[in-house]
Chains A and B, each alone.
Chain A
């Protein structure tokens, strides 16, 4: 009921925004076709096929190998990329993720976490988010949150490698096919456990399975084959990433985020001397930033972090008024703030950019098919939640499927599948809506909007229980 009303609200918001933003329709299949007649060349029959061997898909395969019940299933993991040898490098990769406590718990239960710890990770103990258009700021520190770290910054490569190593270190029920180019899918039309899904490869091989799991990312071909509604739009923004060398060495456990009128700039700690950058900005600007010589890029970045943006006098008046009242009430007024680091240089050739978009699949399930990760939902990276939502999908899917099998149900039984869908949507959709609202709130530079968000942030920052609530939602 609740999720339905949230969904309705969400759809309404989307409908109104469709007029202003470009909507990319993915309903027509581009390169992957929906098979009408699968080829007879059946290469193998599996209980479960996971399409997509990214971080989320691999983690699911690993979870299926570790669970005492799911390890009875015959699982095939199809990965489009090659089986490349991973080499640990002293330089940091420019693609990093912020993992929350829930993801840490999942990775610990899969014995992946200790592998990550052995390689490289940086805990975030303090987080400061501030607005360039006013004095408002909000901070989260680990001492507020059950004495645990706010998040962990891990390179994508390292996490994927750790999961893969754990997955392949033992003889198990998961078979991995690399360089898997999928030509098309044929999915069961109605709910009938005897009908299988067909996965046709471009080399003519066909695999069959009872349960197909789409972990194939935002452009999911499985989702297209399901024929579900997918709401999506581009932000016309890109995330510019780079590995930064700091001007001074210090205990670097703070995540910084400054909202400037073009979008948020996030500086995520890697070690005492280095941080990782995610700079979300308009597409033209992002392309411009990529073309700049490296020293000029560093100047532009420091500028964006330190520059005083023109401020409205009325916003100043109101925010200082609110601070004085907060001070009198004995609440934190946000004046005590840390200063962000200065950037000395960037690691050579570490700059890159990726497009930012929003996506929501109205259904996560169809008869015999389940979507997880970015295939089901895609968010702006401003809150560092995207991959954590995907790992949450993995944890819940494993739990529900394992429970269903322990009760003697078929692996495509609608009961566990609809539980998975409603549980995940109840968590993911509100998170997506919050992130979307923040994005909209901060890409405007209109005085009343700046005023409203600044006062809102000031008050939120002062109210410890509210902050705890935000953090605990982000941690699950």
Chain B
């Protein structure tokens, strides 16, 4: 009964927000975002249409400094997610004809919203020249500090920059072989500017990778309510439903920015084994790979 009430309450709140699932060409996608922010001022206090930073989210993750590198701590799902997203990025950038220890050697990768550097280090282990950027100064410090811990990346430490993607892209147009935004786009303001800036920094022919929750009732229930309040596998308040983006919307944004979407996978977590897997089921979370056309 109470569950139903709660669901109803969430449903009512979000009903006003989502007007159209697929934006029409020419319409301003960030309109939906603007509406959200106006309705819920506490989240987007610092909202600025020229910036992708959501100050509240940046603060939220910065406060959890110490937890970042505990593989069994609050961010354990991000650690275990490396088991599928590192191969996802690897296989998108290189073909597996001849396997060796550093398949991503000579590949320049930008990890947008790198946080504590969990994914950046995972990619650096495969030989990639990784640049991690994050809007949080504290998180960049954690990442900077931690990159000296793992001897496997002693020769190939990632470079971390405290910056936003739109600022970073100004100096690095057509530069990277791969851009990764894993579990990030659901935390940014102005997703249109975010995607545009990411693609700007990407070389023609380079690949861009996203992993993010879908905006469905499934993800609202499991990713937000169930994972945060019942399982407590995700810190409370980590996600807002309104900020989730659907695969269609993200595909649309990418294709409008001269990219061709090559792959869309569902991403699911096995609740028993705690292992991530790619699947057909895209209603919870998904991964997208796109190539930048010349």
Taking Cβ atoms with an 8 Å cutoff, the residues of A that contact B are: 1, 68-69, 72, 402, 405-410, 415
Contact = CB atoms under 8 A, between A and B. Distances in A.
Nearest to B86: A407
Given A1-B272, A408-B122, A402 B86 contact: no
Contact of B99 (A69, A409, A415): A69
A94 B87 CA distance: 48
Interface string B86-122: 1100100000101111010000000000000000001
A418 to B, nearest CB: 8
A69 B86 contact: no
Nearest to A409: B83
B171 to A, nearest CB: 29
Given A68-B98, A68-B100, A408 B83 contact: no
A72 B90 contact: no
B126 interface: yes
Contact of A402 (B87, B99, B125): B99
A72 B272 contact: no
A406 B122 contact: no
Contact of A407 (B87, B100, B272): B87
A1 B273 CA distance: 10
Contact of B103 (A72, A406, A415): A406
A425 to B, nearest CB: 14
A407 B80 CA distance: 13
17 contacts: A68-B98, A68-B99, A68-B100, A69-B101, A72-B100, A402-B99, A406-B90, A406-B96, A406-B99, A406-B101, A407-B86, A407-B87, A408-B86, A408-B122, A408-B125, A415-B83, A415-B275
Contacts of A405: 101
Interface in B96-155: 96, 98-101, 103, 122-123, 125-126, 152
Contact of B83 (A1, A72, A407, A410): A407
The residue among A68, A405, A406 with the most chain B CB atoms within 10 A of its own CB is A406
Interface of B: 83, 86-87, 90, 96, 98-101, 103, 122-123, 125-126, 152, 272, 275
Contacts of B123: 408
Interface residues of chain A: helix, strand, loop or mixed (majority): loop
Contacts of A1: 272
Contacts of A410: 152
A415 B122 CA distance: 15
A407 B104 CA distance: 10
Contacts of A72: 100-101
A406 B98 CA distance: 11
Contacts, number: 32
Nearest to A408: B125
Contacts of B100: 68-69, 72
Contacts of B96: 406
A408 B126 contact: yes
A6 B122 CA distance: 36
A85 B272 CA distance: 52
B77 to A, nearest CB: 14
Nearest to A413: B83
B279 to A, nearest CB: 17
A245 to B, nearest CB: 50
Contacts of A409: 83
Contacts of B101: 69, 72, 405-406
A68 B83 CA distance: 21
Contacts of A402: 99
B76 to A, nearest CB: 13
A410 B125 CA distance: 10
Contacts of A407: 83, 86-87, 90, 126
A272 B125 CA distance: 57
**Which 6 pairs from chain A and chain B are nearest by CB?**
A408-B125, A408-B126, A407-B87, A68-B99, A72-B101, A406-B99
A410 B83 CA distance: 12
A295 to B, nearest CB: 59
A415 B272 CA distance: 14
A402 B275 CA distance: 19
Interface centre among B99, B103, B125, B126 (most CB of A within 10 A): B99
Chain B CB within 10 Å — which of A407, A408, A415 has the most?
A408
Nearest to B272: A1
Nearest to B125: A408
Given A408-B123, A408-B125, 16 more contacts: A68-B98, A68-B99, A68-B100, A72-B100, A405-B101, A406-B96, A406-B99, A406-B101, A407-B86, A407-B87, A407-B90, A408-B86, A408-B122, A408-B126, A409-B83, A410-B152
Specify which of B123, B126, B272 lies most central, judged by the most chain A CB atoms within 10 Å of its CB. Answer: B126
B272 to A, nearest CB: 7
Nearest to A403: B87
A78 B100 CA distance: 27
Nearest to B151: A194
A407 B272 CA distance: 23
A415 B126 CA distance: 17
A50 B125 CA distance: 26
Nearest to A72: B101
Contacts of A406: 87, 90, 96, 99, 101, 103
A196 B86 CA distance: 26
B120 to A, nearest CB: 12
A405 B122 CA distance: 11
A409 B83 CA distance: 8
Contacts of B122: 408
B127 to A, nearest CB: 9
B29 to A, nearest CB: 35
Nearest to B96: A406
B284 to A, nearest CB: 21
Contacts of A68: 98-100
Contacts of B152: 408, 410
Contacts of A415: 83, 275
A421 to B, nearest CB: 12
A66 to B, nearest CB: 12
A300 B275 CA distance: 58
Nearest to B121: A408
B94 to A, nearest CB: 10
A402 B86 CA distance: 15
Q: Which of A1, A405, A407, A410 has the most CB of B within 10 A?
A: A407
Nearest to A1: B272
A408 to B, nearest CB: 3
A408 B119 CA distance: 11
A409 B98 CA distance: 18
Nearest to B123: A408
B218 to A, nearest CB: 23
